[in-house]
Amino acid sequence: MKNLILFTTKYGSVEKCGRILAKELDGETEIVNLKTDSIPKLADYDKIILGGSIYLGKTQSAISKFAEENIEALSSKKVGIYVNSGEPSEKKYVQIKNSFPAPIHDKAVAIGLFGDEITWEKCSFMDKLALRLIKKVTASYSNIDEKEISRFAKLMNEA
Ligand SMILES: Cc1cc2nc3c(=O)[nH]c(=O)nc-3n(C[C@H](O)[C@H](O)[C@H](O)COP(=O)(O)O)c2cc1C
């Protein structure tokens, strides 16, 4: 069994969650950063997991675009999608739905909301400003939901 976790991240929490997830998946798992690594052939994997983080209501366009461009190849695989997101309300489901093409989202064997994390020192000036104004946050915090990662891993393993 070969799994591929393909992710985009701005400050690292999607990658961190991908690495926690990889330890819980059965079989061999490769983790690939969509923006900085070379993309392997999807045909070589049995299960593919797409991960991104939500900014202003949507995930990075690179991962949405990748999903859009590979709908056909992804449709023949067991696909899981997860996001890191700070939204506590029901809106979090809308954000993930709006971030991936419907055929991928609706057919996903697992959908994960892994929580959020901010490393204050890594944030850009503009992101710090947005965090201060919108979330009243001025320091690092971590709300990564490890139970949710385990639930997601179980669904992927059983698929
Ligand atoms: C400027 C800014 C805007 C954000 N906007 C949203 C948002 O619209 N919805 C949401 O659920 N989370 C939002 N978040 C929370 C991020 O999704 C969360 O911090 C995530 O862990 C970042 O992952 P990354 O470091 O892998 O990019 C925002 C965070 C920042 C810094």
| Whole-prediction pTM | 0.96
Domains of the chain: 2-117+144-158 (3.40.50.360)
Residue 113: predicted pLDDT? 97
- Model confidence at 1: pLDDT above 90: no
> From the CA of 55, how far away is ligand 1's center (Å)?
5
> From the CA of 1, how far away is ligand 1's center (Å)?
32
> From the CA of 44, how far away is ligand 1's center (Å)?
32
Of 54, 128, 132, the one to substitute when testing ligand 1's pocket (max ligand atoms within 8 A of C-beta) is 54
- Model confidence at 13: pLDDT above 90: yes
pLDDT in tens, 103-123: 999 999 999 999 999 999 999
pLDDT in tens, 130-158: 999 999 999 999 999 999 999 999 999 99
- Model confidence at 11: pLDDT above 90: yes
Q: In terms of DSSP H, where are the helices of the chain?
A: 13-24, 61-69, 71-75, 91-99, 102-107, 125-130, 146-158
User: Does residue 55 have its Cβ closer than 6 Å to ligand 1?
Assistant: yes
